[in-house]
Every structure is written in structure tokens, then in C-alpha cells.
Amino acid sequence: VSMKAEDWLQLPELIVDDVPVALQGAGLKAYREMERTMVAEVGGEEISATTAAALTGKLLQLCSGAVYDAEGQVARIHECKIEAFLEVVEQLHGEHALVFYWFQHERDRLLEALASTGKRCRVYKGVQEERNWNAGEIDILLAHPASTAYGLNLQQGGHHVIWFGYPNWTLELYQQANARLYRQGQKQPVISHLLVVQD
């Protein structure tokens, strides 16, 4: 027997908002090259993937705007997704957002982009961030879905989720991460904004 929370709880609506992101210039060129040949030149560095699984990870990174090279250094490529993210944050008109990233360079670039916004931004590290978020003391909470997908009650701090980066092939992590806000005690419709690179 399987039962979902929605089957026996009165939950507000969960709305999925697909936010299209168009890759342009160097970002699109690097993506197409990597997709076709498993190798791309980025800023004079050769980025390669040796397996299909590694290729998927590199393509996800390219979509977000930066990629790790062979030495683990971050090669920046474009700001298309960062710009789309900042537009979504602006459209929230001060409402709080739980933001999911997948790669550490995504987290670092998001913090850098948010530095000039005047928003109270934090990275989820533990119980203190959970308390501060639920008390309304954090405007933007950056979180890795693997760190926050289970057991956290974050529904008091807001009702917007922004997906900047995605769990690679892990539907359960995606669903569980959304359930940090879309759960018992949530009073407002939860809006999950998905930043999706087109084509």
C-alpha cells in the first residue's frame, strides 16, 4: 500500500513555473561541441568527458555557466542562467526563496551575484539556518538538495523554490527537496521555479 501526503492532507497547490534560459555565444558553442564530441575548448582550456555519465555532468555544468577543468579549477563560460535567476528573484518582490544548486561553483557564483542585491543570503549548513529561515530572517537560502531533501521543515520561511542546478538523474531528490516547502503546515501555494536551458 502506498499513500502520498496529498491523499490525506489538505495542502495548498504546488505550481511549477518553467523559466526558459537561452544559451548564447560561447556558452551555446561549448555546449554543442561537448555534446557532439565529448570535448570542448573553454577559455583556452580543453574540457573533456571520458564517459557518458561524465558527459551529462559536464553538460549540466555548461548549462549553469561554468565547468570544472581537469585540475578542478572553475572555467566560467556565460552568465545566461545567472541573469535569469536574478530576474526571478526580482519578480518575487521581496518574498523569500529556497534556491537549490548542484555544483559548488554554482553556489559560489550565486552568492557573488546576490552580493549587490541587499538580500539576506545564507547557505544551508545546519540547524541554525533552518531556524533563521523559518523565523523569516533569511531572504535567499541556498541549499544543496542532497543536504536538505529529507527531514527538514522549512515551510514557515517561504513558499518559493528556485532550481538553479538539478540533481543528476535523481527524481527522488528533486521531489523530496520540493517537499521542504510543500508539506504540512504550508499556508500558501508553493511555486517551484525551474531555470531550464532551452534546446
Over range 13-34, report the average pLDDT.
94
How many percent of the chain have pLDDT more than 90? 77
> Between 139 and 43, where is the model more confident?
139
Over range 151-160, report the average pLDDT.
93
What pLDDT does 130 receive? Answer: 96
Neighbours of 130 (CB within 10 A): 20
pTM strictly above 0.75: yes
Give the phi and the psi of residue 122 in degrees, each rounded to 5.
-140, 160
What pLDDT does 10 receive? Answer: 76
pLDDT averaged over every residue in the chain: 92
Q: Give the model confidence (pLDDT) of 67-124 as tens digits.
A: 998 888 999 999 999 999 999 999 999 999 999 999 999 999 999 999 999 999 999 9
Going by C-alpha positions, the residue among 126, 196, 136, 121 that lies closest to residue 163 is: 196
How many percent of the chain have pLDDT more than 70? 95
In this structure, are residues 197 and 23 in contact, taking their beta carbons and an 8 Å threshold?
Answer: yes
What pLDDT does 5 receive? Answer: 56
What pLDDT does 8 receive? Answer: 55
For the residues of 23-73, what is the DSSP string, one character each? --HHHHHHHHHHHHHSEEEETTEEEE-SSHHHHHHHHHHHHHTEEE-TTS-
What pLDDT does 4 receive? Answer: 62
Say if residue 7's pLDDT is above 80.
no
Say if residue 42's pLDDT is above 90.
no
Q: Give the model confidence (pLDDT) of 44-75 as tens digits.
A: 888 999 999 999 999 999 999 999 988 889 99
d(CA 180, CA 169): 20
Over range 152-168, report the average pLDDT.
93
- Residue 87 is classified by DSSP as H
What pLDDT does 21 receive? Answer: 96
